[in-house]
C-alpha cells in the first residue's frame, strides 16, 4: 500500500450541476459519473466562486479569490489583464515536495505566458497537442456552425474527449509500474460550446423531447439591461425553445460523450489496481446558460445555471460512499485545503476555502452530509464577476438556501427567493416587504468581501452602497 494516495482531479469546462444522471434533474445519461457518486460523496450545493474559465482555474491553483491576485477575466479576449504568476503560491508544488510525480492534461487557462510545468507539474499534454494530432489525421475536417455546434465528423475514438482519456490512461498505466504516488489533472474542454458530439452521441438525444429550463420563461421585467444586451450580442434574442432544444441536445450529447471518456480513465485505475489508493475529484469550473433565460455561455449573470456546479469526491475507505451532501461548498476553494489536510500539509492561512474532510468523512455508512466537527458549516456562498468581452460589468453575489442577492454595481440589483422561484424569474429588489432581507444580505456580502480582500469594497463609495443602502432601485 502506498504511503500517500494518488490524486486524480477531473475538471469539466462549463458543466451544469443538473446535467448529471445522479442529480435526477435532467434526462442526461452519465453512468460512469453516477458510479463515481455511488462510490463516493456527491455535493448538491457546490458553487463556483467566479464563473469564468481563466479566473476560476487560477483560483483553484492558488486557493484564493482571483481578485486578490488580479485574475479578473480571461486573457487575450478583451482588455489586457494580469493572471496568476508562477511566483505566487500554488498547492501542486506542495505535492511535488512530498514526492509526487504529476501530469497536467487538457485545458489550461491559468497563464498565457507559462504552462503547467511552471506551476509544479512534471508533464503537460495540451489542447494544442490534440489539435496537431487531428490536423495530421483528419486534415479535411472543417467546422462550419460556429458556437452553436454541430456533429463532429471525427471518429469517436479520435475525438478530443477520448484522445485525452487515452493519454491519461497511458500515464496511469506507466506510473503503476513505478509504485510512485502520482497526481493528475485531467481537464476536458467539454461541454464548453461549441458542442460537437461525435459518433452515436451526435444523435443520442432528440431535441423534440427536451423540456425547457426553469429559467427559460424569463420576461426580463425589472432585470439588468445587460441580460437583454447579451441576447442581442449573441444574435439569439428571437430564439424560441425549438431553436434552443437543438443546442441543448448537442450539449447533452457531449456531456454523455465526456462521461464515456471518464469511464476509460476510471477503468485504467481498476486495471492497474490503483482505484483503492486514488482520491478522485470530479467538478467543473462553472456551468452554462445553454438557453436558460434565453442566453448563451455565461458572463454578466449570477444564475444558478452557471454558479452551481457538480462536485463528486471518491476515496475508498475514507470518503463516505453513496452519501449526498447538501452543504454549501466552494468546489474550487475548498478542494485544495481538503487535499492538503489529507496529506498532512499545512495550508496557508491566506487560503479562502476550508477542508471538506468533516463532510466527506461524516460517517462510514455514507448517510451523512453534515459536518462531523463541532463548528458550524457555512450557510451562504459568495461569487464574483468582473467583466470581459461584454464590457467591465462588475457583480458580486451572495446566496443562501432561501435567497440570492446580486450586487450589480452598474445596474439594478437582483433579489430572488429561491424556494418559491427556483428559475430566478422574478426580481424582488425594491419590494418594501423584503427591505430588511436586502439590508442583511448586503451586510453579509460586505463582510465576506472585506474578509477575503476584495478591493471592490475598499473605498467609501462602494462601501456606502452595501452598508448604507445607497443604491438606486
What is the overall mean pLDDT for the chain? Answer: 95
User: Which of the four pLDDT bands, split at 50, 70 and 90, describes residue 363?
Assistant: low
CA distances (Å), 60 to each of 64, 82, 165, 283, 352, in order? Answer: 7, 16, 22, 11, 10
Same domain for 284 and 425, yes or no, is no
Q: Give the H/E segment covering residue 289.
A: none
Q: Which of 302, 334, 360 is the last residue of a domain?
A: 360
Higher pLDDT, 389 or 134: 134
User: What is the rounded CA–CA span in Å between residue 435 and residue 102?
Assistant: 51
User: Which of the four pLDDT bands, split at 50, 70 and 90, describes residue 370?
Assistant: very low
Same domain for 136 and 207, yes or no, is yes
Pinpoint the alpha helices (H) of 102-240. 127-137, 160-176, 225-234
> Residue 334 sits in which domain range?
6-360
Domain count across the chain: 2
Same domain for 431 and 283, yes or no, is no
**Residue 341 has which C-alpha cell?**
489536510
Q: Which of 338, 360, 382 is the last residue of a domain?
A: 360
- Which residue has cell 476553494? 333
Q: Is the pLDDT of residue 185 over 70?
A: yes
For residue 217, the 8-state DSSP code is G
Work out the burial of residue 243: count CB atoms within 10 Å of its CB; fewer than 13 is exposed, 13-18 middle, 19 or more buried. middle
Question: Quick count: other Cβ atoms within 10 Å of Cβ 263?
Answer: 17
Residue 129 lies in a domain: yes
Residue 245 lies in a domain: yes
pLDDT in tens, 340-354: 999 999 989 999 999
**pTM recorded for the entire structure:** 0.97
Same domain for 258 and 118, yes or no, is yes
- Which residue has cell 490524486? 7
Same domain for 188 and 116, yes or no, is yes
Same domain for 419 and 334, yes or no, is no
Confidence (pLDDT) at 374: 38
Residue 301 lies in a domain: yes
User: Which of the four pLDDT bands, split at 50, 70 and 90, describes residue 2?
Assistant: confident
CATH number at residue 401: 3.30.1120.10
Q: Is the pLDDT of residue 310 over 50?
A: yes
Same domain for 317 and 416, yes or no, is no
Residue 229 lies in a domain: yes
Residue 175 lies in a domain: yes
Same domain for 205 and 346, yes or no, is yes
Residue 387 lies in a domain: no
User: What is the rounded CA–CA span in Å between residue 227 and residue 237?
Assistant: 10
User: What is the rounded CA–CA span in Å between residue 201 and residue 468?
Assistant: 53
Mean pLDDT along residues 322-351:
96
CATH number at residue 19: 3.40.720.10
Same domain for 151 and 270, yes or no, is yes
Residue 160 lies in a domain: yes
Rg (CA), the chain: 22
Same domain for 406 and 333, yes or no, is no
User: What is the rounded CA–CA span in Å between residue 166 and residue 186?
Assistant: 11
Strands of 414-417's sheet, edge to edge?
Answer: 381-385, 395-399, 403-408, 414-417
End-to-end CA distance of the chain: 61
Same domain for 432 and 310, yes or no, is no
Give which of 406, 358, 350 is closest to 378, Cα–Cα. 358
pLDDT in tens, 116-131: 999 999 999 999 999 9
Same domain for 423 and 281, yes or no, is no
Residue 307 lies in a domain: yes
Q: Which of 360, 376, 406 is the last residue of a domain?
A: 360
Longest dimension (CA), the chain: 67
Amino acid at each position: 500500500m502506498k504511503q500517500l494516495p494518488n490524486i486524480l482531479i477531473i475538471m469539466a469546462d462549463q458543466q451544469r450541476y443538473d446535467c448529471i444522471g445522479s442529480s435526477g434533474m435532467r434526462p442526461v445519461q452519465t453512468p460512469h459519473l453516477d458510479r463515481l457518486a455511488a462510490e463516493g460523496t456527491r455535493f448538491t450545493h457546490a458553487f463556483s466562486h467566479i464563473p469564468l474559465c481563466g479566473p476560476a482555474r487560477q483560483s483553484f491553483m492558488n486557493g484564493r479569490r482571483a481578485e486578490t491576485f488580479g485574475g479578473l477575466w480571461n486573457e487575450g479576449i478583451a482588455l489586457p489583464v494580469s493572471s496568476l504568476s508562477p511566483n505566487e503560491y500554488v498547492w501542486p508544488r506542495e505535492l511535488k515536495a512530498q514526492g509526487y510525480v504529476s501530469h497536467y492534461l487538457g485545458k489550461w487557462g491559468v497563464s498565457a505566458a507559462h504552462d503547467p510545468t511552471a506551476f509544479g507539474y512534471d508533464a503537460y499534454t495540451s489542447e494544442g497537442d490534440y489539435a496537431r494530432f487531428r490536423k495530421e489525421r483528419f486534415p479535411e475536417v472543417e467546422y462550419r456552425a460556429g458556437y452553436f455546434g454541430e456533429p463532429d465528423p471525427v471518429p469517436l475514438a479520435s475525438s478530443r474527449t477520448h484522445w485525452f482519456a487515452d493519454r491519461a490512461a497511458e500515464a496511469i498505466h506507466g506510473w503503476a509500474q513505478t509504485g510512485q504516488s502520482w497526481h493528475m489533472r485531467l481537464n476536458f474542454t467539454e461541454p464548453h460550446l461549441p458542442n460537437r458530439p461525435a459518433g452515436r452521441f451526435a444523435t443520442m438525444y432528440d431535441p423534440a423531447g427536451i423540456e425547457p429550463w426553469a429559467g427559460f420563461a424569463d420576461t426580463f421585467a425589472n432585470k439588468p439591461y445587460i441580460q437583454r444586451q447579451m441576447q442581442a450580442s449573441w444574435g439569439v434574442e428571437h430564439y424560441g425553445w425549438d431553436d434552443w432544444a437543438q443546442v441543448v441536445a448537442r450539449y447533452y450529447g457531449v456531456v454523455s460523450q465526456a462521461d464515456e471518456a471518464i469511464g476509460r480513465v476510471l477503468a485504467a485505475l481498476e486495471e492497474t489496481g490503483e482505484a483503492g489508493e486514488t482520491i478522485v475529484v470530479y467538478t467543473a469550473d462553472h456551468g452554462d446558460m445553454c438557453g436558460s433565460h434565453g442566453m448563451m455561455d455565461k458572463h454578466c449573470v449570477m444564475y444558478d445555471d452557471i454558479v452551481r456546479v457538480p462536485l463528486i469526491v471518491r476515496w475508498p475507505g475514507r470518503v463516505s460512499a453513496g452519501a449526498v451532501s447538501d452543504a454549501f461548498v466552494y468546489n474550487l476553494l475548498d478542494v485544495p485545503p481538503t487535499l492538503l489536510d489529507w496529506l498532512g500539509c499545512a495550508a496557508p492561512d491566506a487560503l479562502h476555502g476550508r477542508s471538506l474532510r468533516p463532510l466527506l468523512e461524516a460517517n462510514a455508512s455514507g448517510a451523512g452530509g453534515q459536518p462531523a466537527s463541532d463548528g458550524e458549516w457555512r450557510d451562504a456562498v459568495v461569487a464574483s464577476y468582473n467583466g470581459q468581452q461584454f464590457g467591465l460589468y462588475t457583480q458580486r453575489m451572495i446566496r443562501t438556501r432561501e435567497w440570492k442577492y446580486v450586487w450589480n454595481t452598474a445596474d439594478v440589483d437582483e433579489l430572488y427567493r429561491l424556494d418559491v422561484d427556483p428559475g430566478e424569474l422574478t426580481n424582488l429588489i425594491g419590494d418594501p416587504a423584503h427591505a430588511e432581507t436586502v439590508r442583511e444580505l448586503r451586510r453579509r456580502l460586505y463582510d465576506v468581501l472585506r474578509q477575503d480582500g476584495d478591493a471592490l469594497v475598499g473605498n467609501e463609495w462602494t462601501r456606502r452602497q452595501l452598508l448604507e443602502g445607497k443604491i438606486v432601485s
